[in-house]
Amino acid sequence: MAEAYIAAVARSAGGKRGGKLAGVHPADLAGRVLAGLVGRSGIDPAAIEDVIMGCACPGGEQGANIARNAVLASGLPESVPGTHVDRQCGSSQQALHFAAATVMAGVQDVVIAAGVESMTRVPMGLPWTLAAKHGFGTYRSPGIEARYPDTPFSQFGGAEMMARKYGFDRAALDAYALESHHRAAAATQAGKFDAEIVPLEVETAEGEKLVHKVDEGIRFDASLEKIASVKLLTEGGVISAANASQICDGAAALLIVNERGLKTHGLTPLARVHEMTVLGHDPVIMLEAPIPATERALARAGMTLGDIDLYEVNEAFAPVPLAWAKALGADPARLNVHGGAISLGHPLGGSGAKLMATLVSALHDRGARYGLQTMCEAGGMANVTIVERL
């Protein structure tokens, strides 16, 4: 079987809710990142055989097959098809898995794995909350209710459960959040994101034209006092908006090819996809799945966590990476080395490709060999991807 390689990466800088990307339609946002990816790779745009795009809330402006719409908005040839993937927060990481499997099988040689989420323009949960509001029912079927009677599926509740189960108080979560901002700020100031971010020309609500190339969510003046002053989401809990991921507008894309694609188009690979795993777990605690999924991925790869140089574990809430590291005995110095979603933002279905872009860039920056990416997903699932820098 052929190998799958990541030949180019691209992402937008994250936009805060109502921020610099708020005026950009999500199809245009994703389209500009697709164009940026193809442009920096140097490949003939007509050589792209498919675009697989993750999106967690595929409704409204993100509906009607956002992948195809992004292609049409990008200026890529009409011959380039596209399809949408929904594995909630792991949508674009799953897009990577599908793209890699496709080129490994030799069905296609050049596929883009991507993701997008405009959380300003399509608020989180809109496709199902809007349907319920207008009398079209809910995803909670009678079969689900029978299996989980009077049991909510809540990411916020799951985060509180994770903190209690693994013994993290608010002080520990806030300290982790502060470190996320410090690492993201240091990475930005040192130009560590330059290899992955596609600068985008945007126009503000006031009509000012500017280039957006710095993640808006980073608090360069973050302090423990400011983070600790943010109101808790639940009385008596430990989760606040400051130690949870930021609502974010963003898109990311990865060029995935096999050996034939590399040779035909004269591409230089950045990384090889070494292992791909996905696992279902408890949908109530919901956010714990990255732990057993990582264990399964390492076992399948014949590796230990000590073989992995860098880990990207999505900072949906601070207890997620902290519990992951505690349960697996991970080295904190290798975890989210350039910050994570607490500081950089979490554009839901776009985050999988975004994290991989950052992981590949960080591996090259440090001359490291293996990287592992995982993230919790609604419904109690997790994808895990292990890559080798080339």
Helices (H), 42-90: 66-74
Residues with Cβ within 8 Å of residue 137, at least 6 apart in sequence: 131
Radius of gyration of the chain (CA): 20
Structure tokens at 232: 């808790």
Structure tokens at 151: 């049991």
Quick check: helix, strand or coil at residue 151? coil
Distance CA 36, CA 376 (A): 28
CA 285: distance to chain centroid?
Answer: 20
Distance CA 31, CA 29 (A): 5
Q: Catalytic site residue 55? A: no
320 conformational bin, left if phi > 0, alpha if psi -120 to 50, beta if neither: alpha
Catalytic residue among 84, 89, 212, 274: 89
Residue 209: strand pairing partners: 203
Place of tokens 């950045």: 270
Q: Catalytic site residue 57? A: no
Distance CA 363, CA 265 (A): 24
In 3D, which of 36, 191, 330 has the Cα closest to residue 374? 330
In Å, how far are 102, 137, 351, 365 from 346, measured between CA atoms?
A: 27, 28, 6, 23
In 3D, which of 19, 58, 51, 57 has the Cα closest to residue 37? 51
Which residues are catalytic, by number?
89, 346, 376
